[in-house]
Amino acid sequence: MAVRINKADFEEKVLKSDLPVIVDFYSDFCIACKKLAPALGDVEDDYEGKLYVYKVNTNFDKDLAKEYQIAANPTLLFVKNAEVLDRKIGAHTLAELKTWVEALL
């Protein structure tokens, strides 16, 4: 299961990461976030050693959400070498997520 991070460890875990990172901006009360969670967990398992998956709760980390222009939950950022390469908004299937990851790795 993806580890929850916040502004205090975002730079270390995401921007300075040795591997690409998917950051899941979510809310505890978001239905689409709950639908996305199992597929995102499978991506984390399937790509272990190739990328990291972290979660940022937009209810508690509003400054981070604002900094990355998160307008809807869930929003996934694909970050590689401290650069946001792409983003996905809303719930997606495992197949869609894998296609996305493969294109960006």
List the catalytic residues: 30, 33
Angle (nearest 5°) at CA 70 between 26 and 102: 75
- Residues 10 and 15: their CA atoms lie apart, in Å, by 7
